């Protein structure tokens, strides 16, 4: 079984310690794999922000998140894909990453600068930073629709596991909330 399938099982069963250990092995075995770091950062952020866990493990999880964020950022800070996804993840809990929203903005802006043709990165810069539907409504609607209707882009997003699922849900929310305003 590949690590992505195993991780999905652990996440489904809320077996956080096994999921973290699996991702630590994945990262140790493949330190240049962006996805390993993205999955780990999302896993830890999701546990801390959205899941029920033993409170005595809070500091351990938070410290791991900072460790893997700093480690991955030092490796991949010039990679547009990494910058987009880590910016998206960090935007939900920047305090755990020990950064400010201005840092998230810089990540998303740099991803767009590095790959100015990417609809996904343009969408991120426009939609993640200002989530109010009444701001840049037409642009948010247009970009969301274009991405949601693009099978190849959506397939790539969904390869990101729970991170991709959450991104898709968020994008659908942006699409629906802007659609009613047009």
Domain boundaries, the chain: 3-180
pTM of the complete model? 0.95
Q: Are 112 and 136 contacting, i.e. CB atoms less than 8 angstroms apart?
A: no
pLDDT in tens, 77-98: 999 999 999 999 999 999 999 9
Sequence-separated (6 or more) residues with CB below 8 Å from residue 150: 119
pLDDT given at position 168 = 98
pLDDT given at position 1 = 77
pLDDT given at position 21 = 99
Sequence-separated (6 or more) residues with CB below 8 Å from residue 9: 15
Collapsed DSSP state (helix, strand, coil) of residue 144: helix
pLDDT given at position 133 = 64
Could you please state the CATH topology (level 3) that the domain comprising 3-180 is classified under.
Answer: 1.25.40
pLDDT in tens, 7-66: 999 999 999 999 999 999 999 999 999 999 999 999 999 999 999 999 999 999 999 999
pLDDT in tens, 106-148: 999 999 999 999 999 999 999 887 766 677 899 999 999 999 9
H/E stretch holding 136: none
Q: Are 175 and 145 contacting, i.e. CB atoms less than 8 angstroms apart?
A: yes
Measuring CA to CA, how many Å separate 125 from each of 40, 81, 99? Answer: 23, 13, 17
Encoded tokens for 61: 């999880």
125-163: burial string, b at 16+ Cβ within 10 Å, e else: bbbbbeeebeebbeebbbbbeebbeeeebbeebeebbeb
């Amino acid at each position: 079984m590949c690590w992505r399938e195993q991780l999905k099982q652990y996440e489904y069963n809320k077996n956080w310690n096994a999921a973290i250990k699996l991702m630590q092995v994945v990262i140790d075995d493949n330190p240049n794999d962006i996805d390993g770091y993205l999955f780990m950062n999302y896993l830890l952020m999701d546990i801390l922000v959205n899941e029920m866990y033993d409170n005595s493990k809070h500091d351990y999880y938070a410290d791991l998140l900072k460790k893997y964020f700093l480690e991955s950022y030092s490796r991949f800070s010039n990679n547009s894909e990494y910058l987009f996804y880590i910016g998206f993840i960090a935007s939900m809990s920047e305090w755990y990453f020990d950064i400010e929203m201005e840092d998230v903005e810089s990540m998303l802006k740099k991803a767009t600068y590095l790959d100015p043709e990417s609809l996904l990165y343009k969408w991120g810069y426009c939609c993640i930073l200002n989530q109010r539907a009444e701001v840049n409504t037409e642009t948010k609607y247009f970009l969301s629709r274009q991405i949601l209707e693009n099978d190849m882009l959506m397939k790539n997003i969904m390869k990101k596991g729970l991170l991709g699922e959450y991104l898709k849900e968020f994008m659908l929310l942006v699409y629906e909330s802007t659609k009613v305003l047009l």
